[in-house]
């Protein structure tokens, strides 16, 4: 869905009244092509910015008050002030994302002014395509534009990450904010989560398209001990690091563990911990191999690595689900598809498929039909995208 800036301006005037200079900010969503559950293990990730996005219409105020509204929550206006400490909303409320951004920008010494802001969104909700990071970055860009202030993209990404940690209380990694702020059109980004080094990798749209399919499900799995599955995976990775340190004291994270070292631990480590480690070590290598294969235009190899990634996430890391498995398998049956895999944290959300441009229509139709006619009976959101640019001021 293409967002119309004229319509956004009309909606803004209806919400906050006419007049004044209204700025329009764009921030894309993102998809991770390969490299899952590697970020908190100091590994590599390989995301790209996608065409679905958020846009923010904003106008300066003189009184330090921020009035923030979203087309997703018609008629609801969140109000807070940047003159003093920025108040938090109730836990789970959407306005904690812009509130956190305002607080962190102020803490970073940015001159703040009041703002009326209206957010609209073409990203599918709940699909794991990073609408939260897009909202944070769009909000930050709005405050900066009104203050006449420019900021280096990675600094902006770190501020937005801290905002998500402090206000919504989501312990996210840096990948989402990094790609939303730094993406280069026509490129994915190989990102080293330890060294914070970025390497743009060409994704020529005339040769490659990415198709994303949302399962429309999210299995929230929390054990009797109250721990989320995500928290358990992080704990299990930490147990692996503790073991490998006894063999090689210089190891700081699973990033430092070689395939030979992890394979040698089979039968010595707890089987579950072993398989978690095997996934992370293999996925870190697959991520780098996929970037090299893209540079070499060996798209078949990229596809095979994506399939291997999905199988590892299913069998070793155990974060897939039957809906993700079904859509990935069906995508891989379509001629012209190089490979497909689950993307994101798992237990629902989206798959991502890499394919030839000529295969896009057939792939979308096949996924829509087979998923609807399967035992799941769900209409998935399926769309194609090229790699787009990072956030910025449009008008």
Domains annotated for the chain, with CATH where assigned, are: 5-202 (3.30.230.10)
In this predicted structure, what is the pLDDT of residue 123? 83
Return the closest-CA partner of residue 193 out of 179, 177, 173: 173
pLDDT beyond 80 at 43: yes
Is residue 153 pLDDT above 70, yes or no?
Answer: yes
Q: What's the whole-number mean pLDDT along residues 374-380? A: 96
Mean pLDDT on 137-165: 96
| pLDDT for the residue 125 | 62
Return the H-helix or E-strand segment holding 283: helix 271-295
Of residues 166, 241, 154, the one with CA closest to residue 195: 154
Which contiguous run of DSSP H or E holds residue 392? strand 392-393
Q: Please report which confidence band the pLDDT of residue 130 belongs to, taking 50, 70 and 90 as the band edges.
A: confident
Give the pLDDT mean for 169-182.
91
Instruction: Over range 35-52, report the average pLDDT.
Output: 96
Mean pLDDT across 83-95: 93
Predicted pLDDT of residue 129: 77
**Which residue matches tokens 């995508």?**
331
Give the E-state strand segments of the chain in sequence order: 23-32, 44-45, 47-61, 65-70, 77-81, 114-121, 187-192, 197-202, 209-218, 337-343, 348-355, 381-385, 392-393
What is the distance between the alpha carbons of residues 9 and 375, in angstroms, rounded to a whole number? 43
For a pLDDT cut of 90, what percent of the chain falls above it? 89
Model confidence band, residue 271 (pLDDT cutoffs 50, 70, 90): very high
Q: Which of 81-90, 215-224, 247-256, 290-299 has the lowest mean pLDDT?
A: 215-224
For range 331-338, the mean pLDDT: 98
pLDDT tens, residue by residue, 335-345:
999 999 999 98
**Strand 65-70 relative to strand 114-121, pairing:** parallel
Which run of H or E residues covers position 179? Answer: helix 175-182
Chain Cα centroid distance, residue 225: 28
**Rounded Cα gap, residues 302 and 325, in angstroms:** 19
How does residue 253 score in pLDDT terms, banded at 50, 70 and 90?
A: very high
pLDDT for the residue numbered 79: 96
State the Cα–Cα distance between residues 272 and 319, nearest whole angstrom: 13
The answer to whether the CB of 346 falls within 8 A of the CB of 313 is yes
Q: Looking at 42, 116, 176, 316, which residue is catalytic?
A: 176
Global pTM? 0.93
Q: For the chain, what is the largest distance between any 2 Cα atoms, rounded to a whole number of angstroms?
A: 70
Q: What is the mean pLDDT of residues 125-148?
A: 88
Q: What is the pLDDT of residue 249?
A: 95
Q: Residue 352 contacts by C-beta under 8 Å, 6 or more apart in sequence?
A: 31, 32, 33, 210, 211, 212, 306, 340, 341, 342, 343
The confidence score (pLDDT) of residue 231 equals 85
The per-residue pLDDT for range 229-238, each reduced to its tens digit, is: 888 999 999 9
Query: How many C-beta neighbours within 10 Å does residue 149 have?
Result: 12
Known catalytic residue: 192? no
Mean pLDDT of the chain: 94
CA angle, 62 then 120 then 78, to 5° = 45
What is the structure's pLDDT at 230?
A: 85
**What does the pLDDT look like over 56-66, one tens digit per residue?**
999 999 999 99
Q: Using CA atoms, how far apart are residues 93 and 201, in angstroms rounded to an integer? A: 37
CA gap 380, 163 in Å, rounded: 32
Q: How many residues does the chain have?
A: 395
The pLDDT value given to residue 225: 67
Task: Answer yes or no: is pLDDT of 90 > 90.
Answer: yes
pLDDT-based confidence at 82, cuts 50/70/90?
A: very high
pLDDT band (50, 70, 90) for residue 221? low
CA-to-CA distance for 303 and 306, rounded, in angstroms? 5
């Amino acid at each position: 869905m293409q967002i119309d800036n004229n319509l956004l301006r009309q909606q803004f005037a209806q919400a906050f009244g006419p007049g004044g200079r209204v700025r329009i900010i764009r921030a894309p969503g993102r998809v991770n092509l390969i490299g899952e559950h590697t970020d908190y293990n100091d590994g590599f990730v390989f995301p790209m910015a996608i065409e679905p996005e958020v846009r923010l219409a904003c106008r300066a105020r003189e009184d330090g008050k921020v009035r923030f509204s979203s087309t997703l929550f018609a008629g609801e206006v969140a109000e807070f002030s940047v003159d003093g400490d920025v108040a938090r909303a109730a836990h789970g409320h959407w306005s904690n994302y812009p509130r956190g951004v305002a607080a962190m920008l102020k803490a970073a010494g940015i001159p703040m002014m009041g703002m009326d802001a209206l957010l609209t969104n073409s990203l599918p909700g709940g699909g794991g395509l990073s609408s939260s990071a897009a909202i944070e970055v769009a909000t930050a860009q709005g405050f900066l534009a009104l203050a006449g202030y420019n900021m280096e993209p990675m600094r902006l990404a770190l501020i937005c990450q801290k905002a998500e940690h402090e206000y919504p209380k989501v312990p996210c990694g840096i990948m989402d904010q990094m790609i939303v702020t730094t993406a280069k059109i026509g490129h994915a980004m190989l990102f080293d989560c330890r060294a914070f080094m970025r390497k743009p990798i060409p994704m020529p749209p005339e040769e490659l398209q990415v198709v994303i399919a949302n399962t429309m499900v999210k299995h929230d799995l929390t054990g009797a001990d109250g721990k989320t599955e995500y928290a358990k995976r992080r704990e299990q990775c930490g147990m692996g690091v503790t073991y490998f340190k006894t063999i090689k004291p210089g190891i700081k994270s699973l990033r430092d563990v070689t395939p030979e070292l992890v394979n040698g631990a089979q039968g010595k480590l707890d089987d579950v911990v072993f398989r978690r480690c095997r996934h992370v070590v293999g996925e870190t290598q697959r991520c780098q191999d996929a970037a090299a294969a893209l540079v070499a235009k060996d798209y078949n190899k990229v596809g095979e690595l994506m399939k291997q990634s999905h199988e590892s996430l299913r069998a070793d890391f155990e974060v897939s689900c039957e809906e993700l498995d079904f859509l990935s398998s069906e995508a891989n049956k379509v001629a012209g598809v190089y490979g497909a895999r689950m993307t994101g944290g798992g237990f629902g959300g989206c798959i991502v498929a890499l394919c030839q441009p000529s295969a896009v229509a057939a792939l979308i139709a096949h996924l829509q039909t087979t998923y609807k006619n399967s035992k799941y009976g769900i209409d998935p959101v399926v769309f194609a995208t090229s790699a787009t640019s990072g956030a910025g001021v449009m008008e």
